[in-house]
Chain A
Amino acid sequence: MLKINNLHAGVEGKEILKGIGIEVNAGEIHAIMGPNGSGKSTLSSVIAGKEEFEVTEGNIVFEGEDLDELSPEERAHKGIFLSFQYPVEIPGVSVTNFMKTAINETRKAQGLEEMPASEMLKKIREKSELLEIDRKFLSRSLNEGFSGGEKKRNEIFQMAMLEPRLAILDETDSGLDIDALRIVANGVNRLRSKDNAVVLITHYQRLLDYIIPDFVHVLLDGKIVKSGGAELAHELEEKGYDWIKQEKVSN
């Protein structure tokens, strides 16, 4: 589904990603772990198509198509979703209105009619129950005055509404208390299917207790230095990142 080949990317001439290669297939969950400054968030921004980042070498292929020429919204229309580490506020625009716009714009791009109101309502009801979201919450301005946990839960709610093929969750666990973490993880697990894939970007192993990844990749200084199964995350939790850094040096 997603194939990242020797990706080099940076901002304002400074290289941050220095040759990344990952392949994600439908039905899989991948975790990308790494210390601060290793390039985790840059990777998610580059996949989503944030303009300020420049790809200097390599490419990203999604469903057999090179993403390079596609705008962020076109990537979204193809089914790429990014749960933001720091979701932005849009005053005066309700969560419901925002979702309605996002869904209908995506449908328009796919040549479909707008979603009928009754269907939209049913979907909102279903997904808000899944994520234990109060209906009142949906009429509030997007992210305005939301707590850290509410913002993250709202991101996952949007993911549930948009039903992406590929979801990238950037530090979704940060700012969540244990109950919220459980709800969010439960939501992600329930939305999992053989047709979609999830990439979890995280600093800590905590989230991986709830969402068990098929693969774990360690990102250090813009490169994937180690890949393995779920057990790798536990090893990192015990030994920290220094162990890998040393291993890398000794290699």
Chain B
Amino acid sequence: MGYTEEELKKELETKEYEYGFYTDIESDTFPVGLNEDIVRAISRKKEEPEWMTEWRVEAFRAWEQMIEPEWANVTYKKPDFQNISYYSAPKKKDKYNSLDEVDPELLETFNKLGISLDEQKKLAGVAIDVVMDSVSVATTFKKTLAEKGIIFCSISEAIKEHPELVKKYIGSVVPQKDNFYAALNSAVFSDGSFCYIPKGVRCPMELSTYFRINEAGTGQFERTLVIADKGSYVSYLEGCTAPMRDENQLHAAVVELIALDDAEIKYSTVQNWFPGGKDGKGGVYNFVTKRGLCETNAKISWTQVETGSAITWKYPSCVLKGDNSVGEFYSIAVTNNYQQADTGTKMIHLGKNTKSTIISKGISAGKSQNSYRGLVQVNSRAENARNFSQCDSLLMGNNCGAHTFPYIEAKNKTAQIEHEATTSKIGEDQIFYCNQRGIDTEKAIALIVNGFSKEVLNKLPMEFAVEAQKLLEISLEGSVG
């Protein structure tokens, strides 16, 4: 039958998490709790050099003095940080040389996600560094990359193999004491990805990492460091899903990007962690610090499609330090049921003629709350800085909320800052119009949502855009048919 507001609401509520399954792989997990000994133990377990251990301990000591922030427009029961295990690694003897050696159950997990390594390996132009429960279990395409001098590996490996690079850049954009979650991450990060593109090299393929949270009760503390040396280019993809879980899972990642002179980094994320049940029970807490530094003429572009997590606290930012540098932020954030998202960006203009663009699309359904929070800051020596911000919200039903918190600080009178914001609602008339043309309600919603999100979807690499589109449909459609 046709569409009513009531039915739409019902449909949205009956959507279940598609990727809710759990992989039973033996793992090696630390007891719960956090203290300096645990931090040292993590470092030892990972066979890290002393400077790394001390760096972690320093972060831990800072974290102990810090208070969990409360300014975001989200409400939740604060995690008990002493009731979390800070290290979990799949049990394994050696690194795998080929897929045949990988646990078949793990491969099955990837198959369920539709991202089997087998398939992905064949997908020309995509190299994947898979991070599952904190330790890399497979890395592909490494050789091709190595020929160009590109380093793409787990951060643990980078700490051992390329200590000079890690030591120089880790914490240079997001300092250990930057904020509560960044400090926690700095102390206990388990693994993550590292990428270095040498001078003048254009990375020939999209670099891709799939993150997963797998072990019950383990927090996930990923650390990613991407360095694009002078005149280089890289496009980096990060995507994730997680199995269904009743208790809340904490995720506090840190991503640092460094774009040296004339370099460009394109960083795309599709985030689909378990959002919690339709009763608001469970779901991932996602407290992420992502920041990029642009030197002269450099460019950093963040594109994100956020459909998962119960709580999202995330502000991918650009520090436009060098003259003529460019920062971009394109975001789609979808919240349904009881999800809460407080996400946006910070564009810090330090250099002359710096330019930033912000396009944020928030889609709220069910009883969810979706907030955009963005800061545009122009410092006194940033002559001729320009920013354009557009924040659009789409509401579905009458029980959700959309909020916009733009902060603008201009200390140079030559700054040009534009901000546009709109709020709209999917109307019965739009749905009926589509129905009359033979398009059912489910498809109509997908069409309208995709249309609304188009400017951002267009910024994603092709194969990712298709996945993202599918995800938007899954996140918002009912279980019709």
Contacts and interface: CB of A to CB of B under 8 A. Distances in A.
Most buried by A among B428, B437, B438, B455: B438
A71 B435 contact: yes
B69 interface: no
Nearest to B453: A92
Interface in B439-455: 439-440, 443, 447-448, 450-455
Given A77-B438, A92-B452, A98 B447 contact: yes
Contact of A76 (B429, B437, B450): B437
Interface string B399-436: 00000000000000000000000001001111011111
Contacts of B2: 49-51, 71-72
A81 B443 CA distance: 19
B229 to A, nearest CB: 38
A48 interface: yes
Nearest to B361: A92
A80 B452 CA distance: 28
Contact of B436 (A72, A90, A93): A72
A96 to B, nearest CB: 12
Interface stretch (A6-14, A101-109, A118-126, A184-192): A101-109
Given A50-B432, A88-B430, A73 B438 contact: yes
A51 B7 CA distance: 11
Interface in A7-43: none
Contacts of A87: 433
Given A71-B2, A88-B433, A93 B439 contact: no
Contacts of B427: 88
Contacts of A162: 437-438
B440 A93 contact: no
B451 A106 contact: no
B4 interface: yes
Contacts of A88: 427, 429-430, 433
A82 interface: yes
A193 to B, nearest CB: 20
B447 A101 contact: yes
Interface in A39-96: 48-52, 71-73, 75-77, 81-82, 84, 87-93
Interface residues of A, number: 32
B22 interface: no
B443 A90 contact: no
Nearest to B435: A72
A133 to B, nearest CB: 17
A79 B144 CA distance: 56
B3 interface: yes
A140 to B, nearest CB: 12
Nearest to B446: A101
A158 interface: yes
Contacts of A52: 4, 428
Nearest to B440: A73
A158 B437 contact: yes
Interface in B1-21: 1-4
Given A92-B454, A105-B443, A141-B451, A48 B436 contact: yes
B358 to A, nearest CB: 18
Leading 3 A-B pairs by shortest Cβ distance: A92-B451, A93-B451, A72-B435
Given A49-B2, A72-B432, A90-B434, 19 more contacts: A51-B3, A51-B432, A52-B4, A72-B2, A76-B435, A76-B436, A84-B436, A88-B429, A90-B451, A91-B424, A92-B453, A92-B455, A93-B447, A93-B450, A101-B447, A102-B434, A102-B438, A105-B439, A162-B437
Interface of A: 48-52, 71-73, 75-77, 81-82, 84, 87-93, 97-98, 101-103, 105-106, 109, 141, 158, 162
22 contacts: A50-B2, A51-B2, A51-B428, A52-B428, A71-B1, A73-B436, A81-B436, A84-B433, A87-B433, A88-B433, A89-B430, A90-B434, A90-B451, A91-B451, A92-B454, A93-B448, A102-B434, A102-B437, A105-B440, A105-B443, A109-B438, A141-B451
Interface of B: 1-4, 424, 427-430, 432-440, 443, 447-448, 450-455
